[in-house]
């Protein structure tokens, strides 16, 4: 345990402002460690920050929330002060409160748009937690060590502050908003400014929905339910997968789920084939759909892997419904860049799309051959994960890593 304060600044392309921000923070907090999470800057932000006396953690371009999460794990334990890279003003009052989470409220509002993102964030926080903040989007925040343990890893992108407040309220932490005389660069009413606020609005909405932590420890929104919305014929499969996303235990694989008794994994093992049996009125159809859904679910352990398998499967069977293809293409950039996750809802639903399409196109020995191939993959996945198999084969490994950031 440590009482030493660490100041964490997420920055991207801020070489003109970062030095002044760091110097001001070091002057007001002489005993604190100042760390800059450089979110893939294309300019000299990292160099300028280091010259100004900050420790710099260089990261790929992933977004504010991901940058904070990846940098925070490299910091010493203790309280944390989060600041924006273009901050002007004194935030020292935040660190003197008794609150677990102290949030700066700008005394004077500067520029900006029409306040839609801020109002949306305020309403979402109130709906999820019952707390209505004055300043839902302020990036100037003090976190006690307890608050830091609760909110990290934080939500992705510009949804970080909105979800952080929700998590703090739900954990019954003490929250205080402190009005301060601060300034920062406001995005104006330009095309670029409205594009920024549009992205901000999308990301804060995603931050308030279902979340999961991926293999790298990043907390991402689960968006796979969109497959069920776009393709209503597999909506029950997406719903069963979402239940597993939200309430699953540590069990993995058929044997583990069956041994654990009544779990959401067992629900998938029974519910998806049963739904397929009702739809196809065929035992072979139920087997094909259930195995296809399970196979894509087993593959969804790295960004883009399940979607690539869906694309290959679509080519092998001669195409899938246009809506399914459209939503897969729509989600691919977010999945590959670790901005969102399919989760069980998305991977099971896409697998079911392949299964139902295969049932329509494959008969006789061709259908049973497909069932045999998928059963073999399932057995391999039970004995040794499909991911490990892919990593051990150079060609498959290269294809798997293609287009990832």
pLDDT bracket for residue 258 (50, 70, 90): low
Domains and CATH numbers, the chain: 6-207 (3.90.550.10), 222-401 (no CATH)
Provide the pLDDT for residue 403.
82
| Cα dihedral: 85, 90, 92, 98 (round 10) | -100
Identify which has the larger pLDDT, 307 or 389.
307
* pLDDT over 50 (residue 1): no
Predicted pLDDT at 52: 96
* DSSP conformation letters of 137-184: T---EEE-HHHHHHHPSPPSGGGHHHHHHHHHHHTT--EEEEEE-EE-
| Res 272 pLDDT > 80 | yes
- Which neighbouring-strand residues pair with 33? 6
pLDDT digits (tens, 9 = 90+) for 177-191: 999 988 876 666 666
Between residues 148 and 253, the one the model is more confident about: 148
pLDDT given for residue 262 in this prediction: 66
Contact 161, 139 (CB under 8 A): yes
CB neighbour list of residue 154: distance below 8 Å, 6 or more residues apart: 65, 68, 69, 160, 163, 164, 219
Give the span between the Cα atoms of 320 and 318, in whole angstroms.
7
Comparing 258 with 23, the larger pLDDT belongs to 23
126-133 mean pLDDT: 95
Helix (H) or strand (E) holding 337: none
358, 292 contact by CB (below 8 A): yes
DSSP-assigned letter for residue 222: B
pLDDT band at 256 (very low <50, low <70, confident <90, very high): low
> Tens of pLDDT along 141-163?
999 999 999 999 999 999 999 99
pLDDT of residue 146: 96
Closest by CA to 251, choosing from 238, 264, 242, 233, is 264
Give the tens place of pLDDT for each residue, 65-109.
999 999 999 999 999 999 999 888 999 999 999 999 999 998 877
Residue 387: what pLDDT? Answer: 86
pLDDT-derived band at 273 (thresholds 50, 70, 90) equals very high
């Amino acid at each position: 345990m440590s009482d030493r304060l660490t100041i964490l600044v997420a920055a991207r392309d801020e070489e003109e402002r970062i030095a002044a921000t760091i110097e001001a923070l070091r002057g007001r907090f002489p005993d604190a460690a100042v760390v800059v999470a450089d979110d893939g800057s294309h300019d000299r932000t990292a160099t300028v920050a280091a010259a100004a006396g900050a420790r710099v953690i260089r990261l790929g371009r992933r977004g504010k929330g991901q940058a904070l999460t990846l940098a925070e794990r490299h910091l010493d334990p203790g309280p944390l002060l989060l600041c924006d890279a273009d901050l002007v003003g004194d935030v020292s009052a935040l660190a003197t409160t008794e609150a677990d989470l102290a949030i700066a409220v700008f005394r004077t509002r500067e520029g900006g748009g029409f306040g839609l993102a801020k109002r949306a964030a305020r309403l979402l926080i109130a709906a999820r937690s019952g707390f209505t903040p004055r300043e839902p989007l302020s990036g100037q925040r003090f976190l006690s060590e307890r608050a830091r343990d609760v909110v990290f890893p934080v939500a992705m992108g510009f949804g970080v502050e909105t979800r952080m407040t929700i998590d703090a309220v739900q954990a019954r932490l003490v929250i205080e908003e402190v009005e301060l005389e601060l300034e920062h660069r406001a995005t104006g009413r330009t095309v670029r400014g409205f594009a920024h606020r549009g992205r901000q609005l999308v990301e804060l909405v995603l931050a308030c929905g279902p979340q999961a932590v991926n293999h790298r420890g990043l907390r991402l929104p689960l968006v796979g339910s969109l497959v069920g919305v776009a393709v209503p014929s597999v909506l029950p499969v997406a719903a069963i997968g979402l239940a597993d996303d939200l309430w699953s235990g540590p069990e993995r694989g058929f044997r583990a789920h069956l041994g654990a008794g009544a779990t959401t994994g067992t629900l998938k093992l029974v519910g998806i084939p049963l739904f397929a049996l009702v739809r196809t009125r065929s035992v072979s159809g139920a087997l094909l759909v259930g195995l296809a859904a399970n196979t894509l679910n087993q593959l969804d352990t790295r960004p883009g892997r399940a979607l690539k398998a869906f694309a290959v499967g679509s080519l092998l069977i001669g195409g899938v419904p246009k809506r399914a293809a459209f939503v897969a293409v729509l989600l691919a950039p977010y999945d590959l860049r670790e901005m969102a996750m399919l989760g069980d809802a998305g991977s099971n639903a896409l697998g079911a799309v392949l299964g139902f399409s295969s049932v329509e196109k494959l008969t006789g020995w061709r259908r049973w051959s497909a069932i045999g191939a998928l059963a073999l993959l399932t057995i391999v996945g039970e004995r040794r994960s499909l991911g490990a198999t892919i990593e051990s084969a150079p060609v498959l490994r290269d294809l798997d890593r293609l287009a990832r950031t």
